[in-house]
Chain A
């Protein structure tokens, strides 16, 4: 019988005593993994979706809300702004480029967004299939949307108010194209022309194809949700927001500043959770150390018996290490699985909204570290008990006569 099999059978035999330890280690690992992934992937998503947008202009209100709604699409907008104002701003000498956004309806949990073709250029999104939207009612689906809704080019669908149940006949859309996956928020959007959004909401206007894929030359008196701006030069960062906030009825918010503020707040929360995770893991590992120490007393006869059958001291140490390693590896796998399951199923509860899906298939250095720590403790447990095992002798089985 080899050591591996013997260790495996020992674990199976003592599974009740190992159960709590395994559960605690798994919980600690799941917590640490989830907190880190949410932080790393969350920050990555926040940065990636900035798309070099220098300024967001919208209705007065919370600047963070304006950013979250206009760039990340995870909050309600602060209100609408007159299209004429947006048009005027887009021609300002400090503005290099501007993209208008108009919030439309939803299709299931996916938002329908009216914008110009430039919006896709900013995010580096290309077409995978079909063509870009042209006429009113034509849409392009983000990669994730097409996958989830199982829609293809030429299919039609209805929009609905809010992300609840569909209202039959509230805006009929046709799929003109499907966008290639980009890893940005666009994957989660249904994009169309602003005139499509206006048409659904009954705002009459003269349809013009030049309106939504620029240049902006027409003003029909309608409203849009916000305007995304890229500066012409660094000086604009100093002057443009102040000029808008002080001299107009609009609000200008710089995404970089708001996102730094948001990241700081999120990191404070995640640091606390990380501490709890480490505390849980260390407690579990310490309990394993104590369990091994006390368990060896109970197993003295068994180990002495193995010694009588030619198992050397090193072999006994190796067996103990194998037992502990297998236990922590099992706990680690459980923890990694639990963390991934939690993130896959509850990411919408973490404040990133339904539109953001976390990647649960990643494996990096941190995962290896999470395995290494319990393995080191297992090794330490063996080291601490080396003396005890070296003192185990067949004499322990003999009667003191």
Chain B
């Protein structure tokens, strides 16, 4: 569960932003839609604790993000927040299987069986030995989703996950994200300017 107060953030000699309060239960999803410069990325950075607001607090589970020290927050983020990035970045020196193990480098036990099961569900079972750059765009997207949901984080933040995709793949990806987050019990926040996915979300905040 994620609970955010109204957040206020202003850049030094830059724009000021106010973001509305919201609460998201386990397995629920939220779409943040807005044009460039509307502060979507700033909001995403605040929700993940990468930036501190001038006022307001974000609680993930029962932990208040901004009452933690910076290094505690870094560790908390690694364990409780998953990311899906627009360009579906991976470590090129590692194969797909090693890439999905990365979030487990800090004491979490790697759920090997669940990883195989999920990889099978996402059609990646035969591709796990391949390097990310050897995969097609669609395969990379699915791998990116697998990496984000596998640790079953409290929150998954997806930043423009669909903007480089055609309509069919775009719809598939969002469906996949929502389904996997629901199964993993993770709250999902998708931040995008892509109007095509608007109808796939019941809860939306438009900026």
Contacts and interface: CB of A to CB of B under 8 A. Distances in A.
Interface of A: 1-2, 6, 9-10, 12-14, 301-302, 304-312, 393-395, 397-401
Contact of B36 (A9, A305, A312, A401): A401
B205 interface: no
A398 B159 contact: yes
B91 A302 contact: yes
Contacts of B41: 395, 398-401
Interface in B31-61: 34, 36-38, 40-41, 44-45, 48, 50-51
B193 A310 contact: no
Interface stretch (B14-22, B81-89, B112-120, B174-182): B81-89
Contacts of B71: 312
Contacts of B91: 6, 302, 305-306
Contacts of B92: 13, 302
Contact of A1 (B38, B44, B101): B101
29 contacts: A1-B94, A1-B98, A1-B104, A6-B93, A9-B94, A12-B93, A13-B92, A13-B93, A302-B91, A302-B92, A305-B85, A306-B102, A307-B74, A308-B78, A309-B103, A310-B77, A310-B103, A311-B78, A312-B74, A394-B77, A397-B85, A397-B159, A398-B45, A398-B159, A399-B160, A399-B163, A401-B38, A401-B41, A401-B191
Contacts, number: 86
B24 to A, nearest CB: 19
A394 B49 CA distance: 10
Nearest to A397: B85
Given A310-B79, A393-B50, A398 B74 contact: no
Given A394-B48, A400-B41, A305 B90 contact: yes
Nearest to B71: A312
Given A395-B50, A399-B159, A401-B36, A305 B105 contact: no
B50 A394 contact: yes
Nearest to A13: B93
9 tightest A-B contacts by CB? A310-B78, A13-B93, A9-B93, A10-B93, A401-B41, A401-B40, A310-B106, A309-B102, A309-B103
Interface-central residue, A6, A304, A401, by most chain B CB under 10 Å? A401
B64 interface: no
A399 B103 contact: no
A309 B78 contact: yes
A19 to B, nearest CB: 16
B64 to A, nearest CB: 19
B75 interface: yes
A397 to B, nearest CB: 5
Contacts of A10: 93
Interface residues of B, number: 39
A400 B74 CA distance: 21
B89 A1 contact: no
Contact of A2 (B37, B74, B78, B105): B105
Interface string B137-170: 0000000000000000000000110010000000
Contact of A401 (B34, B77, B87): B34
A306 B74 CA distance: 11
A306 B91 CA distance: 8
Contacts of B101: 1
Contacts of B45: 395, 398
B105 A14 contact: no
Contacts of B103: 309-310
B39 to A, nearest CB: 8
B83 A308 contact: yes
A302 B89 contact: yes
Contacts of A393: 50
Contacts of A400: 36, 41
A310 B98 contact: no
B8 to A, nearest CB: 19
Contacts of B48: 394
B156 to A, nearest CB: 12
A318 to B, nearest CB: 13
B83 A397 contact: yes
A12 B34 CA distance: 42
Nearest to A399: B160
A1 B105 CA distance: 5
Contacts of A307: 74
Given A310-B106, A311-B105, A312-B74, A401 B93 contact: no
A17 to B, nearest CB: 12
A305 B84 CA distance: 10
B37 A401 contact: yes
Contacts of A394: 48, 50, 77, 83
Contacts of B98: 1, 9
A27 B84 CA distance: 45
B117 to A, nearest CB: 21
